[in-house]
Chain A
Amino acid sequence: MSEQDFEKGHHHPRPLSPSALRAKSIEALLVEKGLLASDVSDRIVETYEKDVGPLNGAKVVARAWCDPVYKRRLLQNGTAAIAELGFGGPQGEHMQVVENTPRVHNVVCCTLCSCYPWPVLGLPPVWYKSFEYRARIVRAPRVVLREFGLDLPPNVELKVWDSSSEMPYLVLPEHPAGTEGMSEAELAALVTRDSMIGAAKVRGPKG
């Protein structure tokens, strides 16, 4: 942590970083030029961050768990099946869905930058964009997953998928045990973002 963090208890405003100043300047210019209403970017960010978030993806996963025919369509043509639920948009072209099973575990990364299926997962978390993750998940995936708290047995095959701008990946996690009688909406509430990247499993209601 930076020295500035020690200041947190005080009321002195932290000086803005050069990037923050630059961002502020650009924003002021865009507002002046009539290209940006002052609250628009906040609204977009809030929508992606809080509302879309991984919720859309969770709905897709729950539908696939409840409806085997939908699941087949989803695995065959991710983008089209996801569009059936009304989700699509930028970074959502040619979404590819890969299924986790007791024998195969899939995990997704983007080694080049941060390609990620926005329409279903919202914006990528900080760690997804880090050099550490981008470099290490390919070289030592089991070690990285263990750091996430996911220790895969050696007999489980591990597949790492490198998302590209043309093809962002979504993981269909395994349906957890102990969910008999749960509705699709209740199931969706169990599905986490990390499980749809492949960095975690979905835990049952008692997990």
Chain B
Amino acid sequence: MASLSERIAADANGPAAIPRRNGEPVFNEPWESRVFGMAVVLCERGFYHWNEFRESLIAEISSADTRHEASTYYERFLRVLQRLMVETRICDSTEIDQRVAEVTVAPDDDN
């Protein structure tokens, strides 16, 4: 069976040239779209079911709302992605934090 993204890509090869008035952008920052893409890829690779991701996201949003936290939707989404990466043993949180520290010291400018 074709993967989710293959299936979607195939759909889009139809008469996709129909003009659409789409209004606002879906993402505010480039990193947000990349985080979304990573979450879909890991789901397709079977690390979690999309429902698990969604449930975790609901919980994260709810607790952040309750705390009146100013964080954005994708900041919360990112936290969920990290947590699931740790839970599914893709890496541990120290590994992520270490990498963040390295990138913070020497960021390259391709973003």
Contacts and interface: CB of A to CB of B under 8 A. Distances in A.
Given A26-B96, A33-B90, A21 B73 contact: no
B23 A89 contact: no
Query: What are the 7 closest A-B residue pairs judged by CB atoms, nearest first?
Result: A41-B37, A51-B12, A25-B99, A20-B31, A23-B31, A45-B33, A129-B73
Interface string B19-34: 1111111111111111
Contacts of B9: 43, 47, 51
B99 to A, nearest CB: 4
Given A52-B12, A131-B65, A28 B103 contact: yes
Contacts of A115: 54
Interface of B is mostly: helix
B27 A49 contact: yes
A45 B81 contact: no
Interface residues of A, number: 60
Contact of A47 (B5, B82, B104): B5
Contacts of A114: 57, 73
Interface of A: 13, 15-17, 19-30, 33, 35-36, 40-45, 47-49, 51-56, 58, 86-87, 89-91, 112-115, 122-127, 129-131, 165, 185, 188-189, 192-194
Number of contact residues on B: which range applies? Answer: 35 or more
Interface of B: 4-5, 7-9, 11-12, 15-16, 18-38, 40-43, 45, 50-51, 54-55, 57-58, 61-62, 65, 73-75, 78, 81-82, 85, 90-91, 95-96, 99-100, 102-104, 107, 109, 111
B11 A25 contact: no
Contacts of B22: 53-54, 192-193
28 contacts: A16-B31, A19-B78, A21-B107, A23-B32, A24-B31, A28-B99, A28-B103, A29-B96, A33-B90, A35-B41, A35-B45, A41-B38, A43-B5, A44-B37, A45-B37, A48-B8, A51-B16, A52-B8, A52-B11, A52-B12, A54-B22, A89-B7, A89-B8, A90-B4, A112-B58, A113-B62, A126-B24, A165-B51
